[in-house]
Structure 1
């Protein structure tokens, strides 16, 4: 979860706090289960879930409890769904870009969860944005008509495992990264920022106090499915997705 090269090495106190959190935080495995498949009936839809440990489902025991399993279950009644999960704990945006360059990826929808490991590294927001732009351009080269759904960064400074002054530094960084990501999505026709803000209650977090629980993965999947249905179901109004997003945004 916590990188030793944390940006937060600006002062010995922040470094000590970061290392202490790293030592105290359990390292949870990625869940077992399928990472690709085909299911459902209806118009075809090719889905890629891409990213870091949260995309991979860390925090639950099985993929059917994670983002991939819950999202595909929600989409199954509406589409003949071809889906794939390409995610790994610790992945940064630049590492993910190198990963997708290894093989063509042709899909209709890409759900992305990235940025936390970048935020916890020494890079600045502009360098992260450059990596994000390169990633999006790389994905669109293979899938020029794809819609990309980006997930906002969680409010790390509010997580129970972080104390001051580390929490304050994380809070300020998260605000900068999310503001930059919001503007980036406004400028990119193919991209949309999910209206998602997950709760930070004990029930909403996994046993490490950092990753989502099954109930939070459910909320995330519901938010993403509403947006996908709005974009890919003929005659579907955007009202339902907007209402769902506002509901999720108010859960914190």
Structure 2
């Protein structure tokens, strides 16, 4: 994921770093980038109809960044969109058509174009996961959260049910050394709180991924992170989908069932 060098600048803004401290943060950022590296390939794709049942498929769109897209898994069946599509199908008894618009490296600014594409033919329900790249590229927390709220409102105005997984806790990422990791943790948690306020104000449902998953990711980091030690593994995504499925089912029942 891009932008770790900029976390040192974020730290300087937050704490008024001295030259020596700034050098420490810069070196920690360099080491984190070296460990994480650049993805060898884009996330797998498995768009199409999943699940079973009678009747026209429910349409399910996934928007956001690499976590939404499922970067880090080796089997298309393990993609979070596929796992959630199958879970939704089991819940409502009809097939679910998965449509992935999420792009690795996206910030909330990039979400605008994704929403544009979705609104050309609105689905029944959408999942949005975004925010980590907003931290690493130093987007302001109020501006980022407000932009997310505006995109949720656009989707809701088009009749799309929306669930948002708020920014994960970047303090769980081991390649980011202390004290830089504490800066990342603070920034990502504050962004997640601001996102939740704006999402709910816009009529969406917010799921606090950081609050709900951070302890597990810290305790089981070897299992929950993929080989780059930054993106989740299939096990990590399974933990995330397990807390996203129920809100998605609730939104889908509310938005789609009357049809």
Instruction: Please give the TM-score of this superposition, normalised by the length of structure 2.
Output: 0.80
Give 5+ residue unaligned stretches, structure 1. Answer: 235-252
TM-superposed deviation, 1:179: 1.4
8 Å Cα contact 1:5/1:122 also seen in 2: no
Task: Describe the superposition over 1:57-100 as per-residue Cα deviations: whole angstroms up to 9, x where unpaired.
Answer: 11111221110121122222323312201111101111121243
Task: Give 1:79's match in structure 2, choosing from 94, 107, 117.
Answer: 94
Task: State the SS of the aligned residue for 2:101.
Answer: strand
8 Å Cα contact 1:30/1:57 also seen in 2: no
1:155 paired with 2:135, answer: no
Question: What is the RMSD computed on CA atoms of the aligned residues?
Answer: 2.2
2: CA distance, partners of 1:107 / 1:145:
8
1:21 paired with 2:46, answer: no
8 Å Cα contact 1:2/1:21 also seen in 2: no
After TM superposition, the structure 1 stretch with the greater mean CA deviation from structure 2, 6-15 or 37-46, is: 37-46
1:211 paired with 2:231, answer: yes
Q: What is the match of residue 242 of structure 1?
A: none
Instruction: Please give the TM-score of this superposition, normalised by the length of structure 1.
Output: 0.82
Q: What is the match of residue 8 of structure 1?
A: 8
Task: State the aligned residue count.
Answer: 231
Task: Describe the superposition over 1:172-197 as per-residue Cα deviations: whole angstroms up to 9, x where unpaired.
Answer: 101210111122233232x1112543
1:137-148 matched pairs, under 5 angstroms: 137-141=153-157, 144-148=158-162
2: CA distance, partners of 1:72 / 1:181:
24
8 Å Cα contact 1:8/1:122 also seen in 2: no
1:115-194 matched pairs, under 5 angstroms: 115-141=131-157, 144-189=158-203, 191-194=204-207
